[in-house]
Structure 1
Amino acid sequence: MTIEYDFHEQVVLVTGAGGALGSATVEAFLDAGATVAAADVIAPDDDAHMLDTDSTRLSTHVVDFTDEGAVESVIETVLETHGRLDALIAVAGTWRGGDPVEATDIGTFELLFDVNVRTAFLATKHALPHLQESEGSIVTVASRSSLEGGDGDALYRASKAAVRLLTESIAAENEGVVRANAIMPSVIDTPANREAIPDADHESWVDPDEIADVIQFLASDAAAPTSGAAVPVYGES
């Protein structure tokens, strides 16, 4: 069953827009009629950038979302260009793991909390005043692994738990004004993940397009009663 959403006359900011999930999310909102500001630390002409930028309703922005000044500037640019902001989809993030806590370098801690938590915090901090005006919505990306401890990726799990709790707190602080929800994927079915884990059951992984559909739902009026939720999007994985 195909469900269609209508985001005409709405402006959506997507961070991490050049990656597999970010690009799928941008394309889903464009297909639904939204005007999309797609932001990523990677430039659109970089080989690693996966987004098709051929749309008159799409603007692309090269932004380091760990830099507060840059975040404030790009959101001001979006407002100056489009006049409003209706949704923030904070996809930017990364994974590192493989070592127990005592063998983990401080650089791994700094990277994970910068890219996963700091980016979500700064994006929401500077988007919120405008989302409060439009009574808009926020969707962040936590992780299934944020729900429990595990072996070898403690800092990743902790950083994604922080994203989930940040989102729940934003929902509580903005009750009745801005809805904020997190999604919790597990391993996403991307070419990079298939290459990294060749012997896994790839059929159990969830496609980025399917996750983008859930993100659209959470940003839409269909999810009006839903805020402060952590929504599983890990299928059978």
Structure 2
Amino acid sequence: MEKRIVVVTGAFGFLGRAVVKRALDLGAFVAQVDRSETPPGAAGAARNFIVPGVDLADPEAARAAFARIGAHFGGIDALLNIAGGFVWQTIAGGELAAWDRMYDLNLRTAVSACMAALPFLEKSRSGAIVNVGALGAVKSGAGMGAYAASKAGIAKLTESLAEELKGRVTVNAVLPSIIDTPANRSAMPEADFSKWVSPEDLAEALLFLASVRSRAITGALLPVTGGV
């Protein structure tokens, strides 16, 4: 990842922070994009460009953010689509609005970011897109319909875009099971956390697919399941 220009969406979240840290440790130039404002203690640096307050579901906002990043670093080599959200609700007791929210947070943001990044990625000699899907989209469960449907969309976006950009930009996705985050521990306090995927391990998988070492891989949906 040395000197590779990487954009991380959802960069202020738990997984996003792990990816940013590891990418910087590996020598990458990192642009952090998030809908939230800059969290306390965050600071830009020569290899760390922070772009807060960006609603990636808005294509104009996405284009403006990526134009800033491209101008700042002189290009973009890889896009890691981590921005997203989760909701659990049954169909019988749920609301249709949750399906719209999952679509916007998980799929629309990724499509919008890809559209904004493509002009830069196609100019890179080793452009890469890595999306975050979900193992639960392969076999969903009760209350997971809205979330799983949006993540299934990520899988089909990945496959379709990989074919569209074959030979020019690689496009892959990781399919994690349960990620070991404070929010998930709080929601499932009786679970065996040792079987979950650590953010650090998932970051390694994401950054491998964003690196030149994976240049022969495109259209892959990589399960990252830890001990599950």
TM-score interval, normalised by the smaller of the two chains: over 0.9
Structure 2 partner of 1:39:
33
Give yes or no for the alignment of 1:112 onto 2:106. no
Instruction: Supply the distance in 1 between the matched residues of 2:27 and 2:63 (Cα, whole angstroms).
Output: 26
State the AA in 2 paired with 1:14: V
Give yes or no for the alignment of 1:25 onto 2:14. no
Structure 2 partner of 1:3:
none
> Secondary structure at 2:122's aligned position in 1?
helix
Give 1:108 shift. Answer: 0.3
Pairing partner for 1:12 from 6, 23, 30: 6
Structure 2 partner of 1:75:
66
Give 1:56 shift. Answer: 2.8
Give yes or no for the alignment of 1:166 onto 2:157. yes
Show structure 1 runs of 4+ deviating over 6 A: none
Decide which moves more: 55-64 or 74-83.
55-64
Pairing partner for 2:93 from 91, 98, 103: 103
TM-score, length basis structure 2: 0.95
Structure 2 partner of 1:89:
80
Give 1:184 shift. Answer: 0.5
CA offset digits 1:177-228 (Å, max 9, x no partner): 1000000111111112111110001110111011000111111122121100
CA offset digits 1:121-177 (Å, max 9, x no partner): 000011112111103100000000111232111111110000111011110001111
Pairing partner for 1:156 from 137, 147, 152: 147
Contact 2:12 2:39 in 1 (8 A): no
CA offset digits 1:1-60 (Å, max 9, x no partner): xxxxxx2332111000001111111111111111110011111235xxxx8546431111
Instruction: Supply the distance in 2 between the matched residues of 1:30 and 1:149 (Cα, whole angstroms).
Output: 35
Instruction: Supply the distance in 2 between the matched residues of 1:228 and 1:162 (Cα, whole angstroms).
Output: 14
Give yes or no for the alignment of 1:178 onto 2:169. yes
Instruction: Supply the distance in 2 between the matched residues of 1:109 and 1:143 (Cα, whole angstroms).
Output: 16
Aligned residues: 226
Instruction: Supply the distance in 2 between the matched residues of 1:52 and 1:189 (Cα, whole angstroms).
Output: 23
State the AA in 2 paired with 1:170: L
Give yes or no for the alignment of 1:189 onto 2:180. yes
> Secondary structure at 1:176's aligned position in 2?
coil
TM-align CA RMSD: 1.4
Structure 2 partner of 1:211:
202
TM-score, length basis structure 1: 0.91
Gaps of 5+ in 2: none
Instruction: Supply the distance in 2 between the matched residues of 1:153 and 1:112 (Cα, whole angstroms).
Output: 11
State the AA in 1 paired with 2:35: V
Give 1:110 shift. Answer: 1.1
**Could you tell me the percent identity over the aligned residues?**
38
> Secondary structure at 1:171's aligned position in 2?
helix
